Homo-oligomer: A and B are copies of this chain.
Amino acid sequence: MPSVIPADSVGLVTPQTLHFDIPLALSCGRVLESYDLVIETYGTLNADASNAVLICHALSGHHHAAGFHSMEDKKPGWWDSAIGPGKVIDTNRFFVVALNNLGGCHGSTGPVSINPASGEPFGPEFPIVTVADWVNSQARLADRLGIRQWAAVVGGSLGGMQALQWSIAYPERLRHCVVIAAAPKLSAQNIAFNEVARQAISKDPNFHHGRYYAEQVVPKTGLALARMVGHITYLSDDGMREKFGREMRSGKLSFDFNPQFEVESYLQYQGERFSTAFDANSYLLMTKALDYFDPAAEHGDDLSAALSHARCRFLLVAFTTDWRFSPERSREIVDALVAAGKPVAYAEIESAHGHDAFLIPSPRYMDIFGAYMNRILATLPSNEGRA
């Protein structure tokens, strides 16, 4: 608990729920007649609404990106290391918007929400949503907030895919696109890990074909397994070696099946914790959004063609030991942007932390990211007279 709110925190924040009544046509062909988006904002929108930054979240993320909900909170928002007064995404200068995506389980319309058509939770009836659908819903959010053009759309992992999609779908509506630890599409191996997670959840006897809410149970075992597999792919082999090595809890082999290596306890704890904090149907949807993202597909697998109408500047960041979305995958995006003649900066950051590195404020990462964000501030349209 923060007995004192740190000076570089956005402080106590309150989520807002925005209701949207204009039907949203989804990629799957279905229509969401109306929906809620839960958001948080940090900082102040300037007079010409040119200082707004959209934060897109990853697989298990949400709208609570920075600050605290109460003085009792043990932890701040998930990207508090990067968002705050004087931080890389400086809330003294930027107006920062973070949301929970459709299909999520933190307040925006998703499987746990009541389906107005049935009066029951959507559950498995919730449509499969795509990155493109999310970006469409985020564009409406921008309309609602009076933001015609984002100073930047920023995201890591699945969030980076949303940022990339913004540059393709709404080229006039962002000036900068920051894509961190992402990929232009999943590899077969990525899809394979997602499928293991989905099988673990859907084969859990408490899943009940996704209608577990009515049964007053949750598929905890499956969700915990899914999270365990996920965690392995978020960490690097090197990072795990540094963090756990082959350390044993008791110091010696127990010759039984209780967890004895530190890494076993860690994974079990992470799985257990997640299984009571996240909705299984939402998890399934998030993995499908990842699997389906492939903006080049509509352009004959030519990513450069897919990006040809982009109008923003790009920053791509990758981490050396990230094997979920390796630097090679970021370079595919960089190469496509270069081929399309787009302005792109690329940083490959040395880190032992694997995919998780995008959440860890390592010095060179923060330096490069911060310098890029400062340049955005220096070139805000509202600054032009002062330059």
Contact = CB atoms under 8 A, between A and B. Distances in A.
7 contacts: A128-B255, A188-B261, A188-B263, A191-B246, A195-B264, A203-B225, A229-B229
A127 B255 contact: yes
Nearest to A291: B261
Nearest to A221: B203
Interface string A237-273: 1001101111000000101110101111001100100
A131 to B, nearest CB: 13
Copies of this chain, whole number: 2
Interface in A206-232: 221, 224-225, 228-229, 231-232
Contacts of A255: 27-29, 127-128
A371 interface: no
A374 interface: no
A129 to B, nearest CB: 10
A80 B225 CA distance: 36
Interface residues of A, number: 54
Given A199-B271, A202-B257, A225-B196, A191 B127 contact: no
A346 interface: no
Contacts of A231: 192
A240 B192 contact: yes
A268 B189 CA distance: 14
A-B pairs with the 7 shortest C-beta distances?
Answer: A28-B255, A188-B240, A188-B244, A188-B263, A189-B237, A195-B264, A203-B221
A185 interface: yes
A187 B209 CA distance: 37
Contacts of A263: 188, 191-192, 195
A192 B128 CA distance: 31
A161 interface: no
Residue among A188, A221, A294 facing the most chain B CB atoms (10 A cut-off): A188
A377 interface: no
Nearest to A200: B225
A148 interface: no
A198 interface: yes
A284 interface: yes
B232 A199 contact: no
Interface of A: 27-29, 127-128, 185-189, 191-193, 195-196, 198-200, 202-203, 205, 221, 224-225, 228-229, 231-232, 235, 237, 240-241, 243-246, 253, 255-257, 259, 261-264, 267-268, 271, 284, 288, 291-292, 294, 323
Contact of A225 (B192, B199, B292): B199
A186 B127 contact: no
Contact of A294 (B205, B246, B284): B246
A17 B30 CA distance: 62
Contacts of A235: 189
Contacts of A284: 257
Contacts of A191: 246, 261, 263-264
A195 B263 CA distance: 9
A373 to B, nearest CB: 32
Nearest to A328: B237
Contacts of A224: 199, 203
Given A28-B255, A188-B243, A200-B200, 19 more contacts: A29-B255, A185-B246, A186-B246, A188-B240, A189-B235, A189-B237, A191-B246, A191-B263, A192-B232, A192-B263, A192-B267, A193-B232, A195-B228, A195-B261, A196-B232, A199-B271, A225-B225, A246-B294, A261-B291
